[in-house]
Structures are given as structure tokens and as C-alpha cells.
């Protein structure tokens, strides 16, 4: 390693700016990377031009001109790589300098300490020798020794007048490089010889030239004929284009006329469909009224107006479902309409039997029915809810509690009149059949069962009242209803009068109130 550095230092002065293969190469020293970077920046960036080739296929300068030219291209690429490596090494060198400076500072501080306490006079000489030895040791911040070796070898291969002796390692590398360049030159020589042989081995005869001229004349005549045909086709194309434009205009006119005809036809068709729907609706209404008139004589008004049944796990009144399920969500508009029907039915039954509820008053207003507390402080509770009113003290739950209390009072009144009746479910405070009537979170299944049991008791009470022959138009009941309900409640109560004869009118009135 030390011998190769000595060879490179000895060649530095001779190869500092010697032209090698069309460029200026410089041997980079190892003592200072910053000086090497300055030398690299001074190098000109000139593109290598290939040497001229003779008629025989060989280069005009010498046998090694091709190898030198290829080597110059490789050197340009290597030069760019060296430049990038030099930048990275410069950063490493800066860190190395800082480390060396810290080491020097530490040595200086230690020397001063020993000089002050021990008194050695030769400390400065030893410190300078130590610094020289440290500078002489190669570091990672120096440029690559491989780059120096390649530069020296290239200088020898180019035939420069270098008189400095070379070490064995450098000589071995140079011999290997010269062998590779010689092999590449021999390969290129073979390629050039084959090319020249192929291009000069087949002479052209006069007969072949005449034959080629005949073919050229034939193709020229054919080209002229094709050009004439092309002109005819161009003229035909222009005529066809004009015809196409005329037909396009006619087509647009026909499309516009067809669109107008279709618009008229669609308008007439819509009118016809509308008239048919009106006719069908009138016919359906006539048929429905005829059926109602035919069946009004032998139907019970209460059972016909308040149809209580079951739809799966839900109880229904007039086809309105009551309750909620985890698998199927019932809209609150439908539930509120069902509560309006229940409030109207409970108030109607109480009026028919002559019962006046204590503490509460029912105001049936369809999907917006209310419960009014008459005892103590007058309060108004709603009998229509939503998903947000799922806590115990909500106005909806208070209204449900008041309604179930009124239902319990009616059940007690009926049992007092007829001890033989056995209602299926018992009412205890805010529960019926053991299930709470309040709408609470995560208890939809219990709430649905409680509403189903309440509808069952209402159906039993409706059957009992109808069987006893109570009349809706009793004077006492009419007077009590007129004084206790609002205007909308009076209209809802009028839906239960003997004039109405079916359940559909009741449904229509309740939807109107909602």
C-alpha cells in the first residue's frame, strides 16, 4: 500500500496535466482531499472524438486507437462517478477533520498539563512528530487508492513519457489492462474485416443494373396509373360527400317531425290514462259504497271501526302495528296512529258505560293524542313518542302510564258490573301481564308484549260493551265528551257516530289529524 502511494506521488508532477486520450488526467494525492477536489474542478469537460477510419477498415493513427477511444468513453463515465464519490468523501473528511481537531486539542491540553507539572522540554518535538505520523496515516477521507492505480495505469498505457519506476502491484494491474484492451482491439478488427468483406465481395454487373432500371420504370408507370385512379376516387368522394350532406339535412327534418308526432302521441296517451284512472277510481268508489250500504244493516259499528288483531309479534288496531322489534323496525308514525286509535277506543268505551276517569282525561287527536292530569297540578302528557324518548320520566312514558291507569279503571268498572267476566291480563300500576308499559332502552321486546296484552284486554272490553247493547249516542256520554275534548277530539269522536259504517273512514280521519 505504501509503495503504490509512493509511485503515485512520484508520477503526480509528470501527469498533472498530461493529455491522455483527448482529456487531461491528474493523479490525485492522498495527503489532502480538498486539494484533490480543487484539481478535479480545474479539469476541462471535453467530449472525446473517435479517430478516423481508413478505407481498409483500420484506424488511421495506430493499432490501439480503437482501444483508446473505447477507454475514453469508459473514463468519462468513471470521471462522473469519481466526482460523486469525491463529494461524499468530502463530507466524511469534514467529520474526520473535526475528530482530528478534537484529538489535537486533547493532545495539546495533555501536553500543557505535563509541561506545567512535569516540565519536559521535548514535548513539543514529540507532539509534532506525533502529528506528522498522524497525517501520514491514510484515512477514509482520502481519495480511493484504486482511482490512483487506474490513473497511473492509463498513463502508462497511453505511452506517456513517465520515467518513474512502478511497483509490482501496479505493473500487474497495467499488464492485465493492456491484455484486455488488446483482446478488445482484436475483436473489433475481426468485426471490421468481416464487414469490409461482406460489402466488397459481391460486384454489381451491368445486366443487374439494366434489370433494376427496368423495374424502376415499371414501378413509375404503375405509380402514375395509381395517381390517376386516386384523382378519380377523390372526385367521386367529393360527390358522395355532397350527397351525404343533403341526406343529413333531410334526415334532421324527418327526425324533428317524428319527435313532434311522438310528443303529440304521448300527450294524448297521458290524457287517456288519466281519464281511465278517474273512471276506474269512480267505479271503485261506487262499488265500495254499494258494498258498505249492503253490509251496514247487520254490522256492529264498534267492531267494524276498531279492528284489533295480531300481525306476527305485534298487536294491531285498524292495521296499525304497535311495538318495536330488533329484527324489524316499525315507523313511529304508524305507532303513534295506533296509540291515537287506542285512546279513541278507550274514551268511547268509557263514555258508553258512563265512566268518568279519575285523575286523568283522554284527548284523542289521532297521531298527536294527549293525556291530561286533572288532580293536583294540571299536567299534559303526550301519547305519541319517538326513539329519543326512551327514558322513564319522558312525557311519552308518563302518557303511557296515565293511559294504562285509565284502562285499569275501566277494567275494574266492568268487573264490578259483571263479576263473571275474567279478563286475560291484570293491570298493576304501569305494567300489564307482568310486562312494563313504559318505553325503555333495550327493552323493546317487553314493551311490545305489554302493548299486545293491552290490545287483548281492549278487545275483550269492546266485545263485552257491544254484547250488553250500550249505545254511542247516549245523552250523558255526548255531553261529557263535548265538555272534555278539544275540537279535533270532537271530530275524532264524530268518526264513531252511527253515520260512519266502516273502518276505512276512521283511518282516513286519523291520518288527516296526523
Please give the residue that has the higher pLDDT: either 489 or 282: 282
Tens of pLDDT along 330-347? 899 999 999 999 999 999
User: Cα-atom radius of gyration of the chain, to the nearest Å?
Assistant: 57
- Cell triple for 216: 424502376
Tell me the domains of the chain and their CATH numbers.
Answer: 2-194 (no CATH), 301-513 (1.10.418.40)
Tens of pLDDT along 113-134? 556 654 444 444 444 444 443 3
Residue 295 pLDDT level (bands cut at 50, 70, 90): confident
- Cell triple for 109: 491540553
**Given 3-state DSSP classes, what are the helix, strand and coil percentages for the chain, each rounded to the nearest 5?**
65, 5, 30
List beta partners, residue 427.
432
Tens of pLDDT along 308-329? 988 888 899 998 999 888 888 8
- Tell me the DSSP string of 249-294: HHHHHHHHHHHHHHHHHHHHHHHHHHHHHHHHHHHHHHHHHHHHHH
Residue 365 above 70 pLDDT? Answer: yes
Residue 27 pLDDT level (bands cut at 50, 70, 90): very low
How deeply is 57 buried, as exposed, middle or buried, from its count of CB atoms within 10 A (0-12, 13-18, 19+)?
A: middle
Residue 65 pLDDT level (bands cut at 50, 70, 90): low
Phi, psi of 59 (to 5 degrees): -75, 150
Q: Best-predicted range by mean pLDDT among 208-217, 303-312, 337-346, 367-376?
A: 337-346
Amino acid at each position: 500500500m505504501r509503495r503504490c502511494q509512493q509511485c503515485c506521488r512520484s508520477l503526480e508532477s509528470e501527469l498533472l496535466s498530461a493529455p491522455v486520450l483527448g482529456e487531461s488526467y491528474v493523479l490525485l494525492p492522498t495527503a489532502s482531499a480538498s486539494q484533490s477536489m480543487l484539481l478535479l474542478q480545474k479539469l476541462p469537460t471535453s467530449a472525446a472524438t473517435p479517430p478516423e477510419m481508413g478505407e481498409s477498415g483500420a484506424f488511421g493513427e495506430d493499432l490501439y486507437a480503437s482501444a483508446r477511444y473505447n477507454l475514453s468513453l469508459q473514463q468519462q463515465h468513471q470521471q462522473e462517478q469519481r466526482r460523486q464519490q469525491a463529494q461524499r468523501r468530502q463530507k466524511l473528511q469534514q467529520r474526520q477533520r473535526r475528530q482530528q481537531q478534537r484529538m489535537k486539542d486533547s493532545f495539546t491540553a495533555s501536553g500543557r498539563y505535563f509541561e506545567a507539572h512535569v516540565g519536559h522540554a521535548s514535548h513539543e518535538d514529540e507532539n509534532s512528530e506525533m502529528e506528522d505520523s498522524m497525517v501520514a496515516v491514510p484515512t477514509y477521507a482520502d481519495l480511493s487508492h484504486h482511482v490512483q492505480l487506474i490513473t497511473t495505469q492509463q498513463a502508462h498505457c497511453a505511452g506517456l513519457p513517465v520515467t518513474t519506476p512502478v511497483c509490482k502491484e501496479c505493473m500487474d494491474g497495467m499488464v492485465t489492462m493492456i491484455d484486455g484492451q488488446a483482446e478488445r482491439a482484436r475483436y473489433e478488427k475481426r468485426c471490421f474485416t468481416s464487414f469490409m468483406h461482406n460489402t466488397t465481395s459481391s460486384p454489381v454487373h451491368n445486366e443487374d443494373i439494366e434489370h433494376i432500371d427496368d423495374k424502376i420504370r415499371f414501378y413509375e408507370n404503375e405509380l402514375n396509373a395509381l395517381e390517376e385512379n386516386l384523382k378519380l376516387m377523390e372526385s367521386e368522394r367529393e360527390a358522395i360527400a355532397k350527397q351525404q350532406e343533403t341526406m343529413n339535412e333531410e334526415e334532421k327534418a324527418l327526425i324533428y317531425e317524428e319527435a313532434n308526432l311522438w310528443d303529440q302521441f304521448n300527450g294524448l296517451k297521458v290524457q287517456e290514462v288519466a281519464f281511465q284512472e278517474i273512471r276506474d277510481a269512480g267505479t271503485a268508489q261506487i262499488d265500495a259504497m254499494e258494498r258498505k250500504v249492503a253490509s251496514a244493516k247487520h254490522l256492529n259499528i264498534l267492531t267494524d271501526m276498531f279492528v284489533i288483531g295480531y300481525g306476527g309479534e305485534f298487536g294491531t288496531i285498524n292495521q296499525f302495528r304497535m311495538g318495536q322489534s330488533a329484527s324489524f323496525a316499525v315507523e313511529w308514525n304508524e305507532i303513534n296512529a295506533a296509540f291515537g286509535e287506542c285512546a279513541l277506543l278507550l274514551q268511547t268505551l268509557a263514555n258508553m258505560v258512563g265512566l268518568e276517569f279519575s285523575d286523568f282525561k283522554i284527548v284523542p287527536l289521532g297521531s298527536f293524542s294527549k293525556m291530561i292530569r286533572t288532580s293536583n297540578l294540571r299536567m299534559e302528557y303526550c301519547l305519541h313518542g319517538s326513539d329519543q324518548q326512551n327514558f322513564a320520566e319522558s312525557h311519552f312514558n308518563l302518557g303511557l302510564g296515565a293511559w294504562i291507569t285509565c284502562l285499569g279503571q275501566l277494567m275494574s268498572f266492568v268487573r264490578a258490573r259483571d263479576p263473571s267476566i275474567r279478563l286475560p291480563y291484570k293491570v298493576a300500576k304501569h305494567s300489564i301481564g307482568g310486562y312494563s308499559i313504559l318505553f325503555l332502552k333495550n327493552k323493546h321486546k317487553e314493551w311490545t308484549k305489554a302493548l299486545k296484552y293491552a290490545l287483548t284486554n281492549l278487545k275483550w272490553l269492546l266485545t263485552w260493551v257491544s254484547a250488553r247493547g250500550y249505545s254511542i249516542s247516549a245523552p250523558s256520554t255526548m255531553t261529557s265528551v263535548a265538555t272534555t275534548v278539544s275540537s279535533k277530539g270532537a271530530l275524532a269522536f264524530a268518526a264513531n257516530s252511527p253515520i260512519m259504517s266502516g273502518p276505512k273512514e276512521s283511518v282516513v280521519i286519523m291520518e288527516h289529524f296526523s
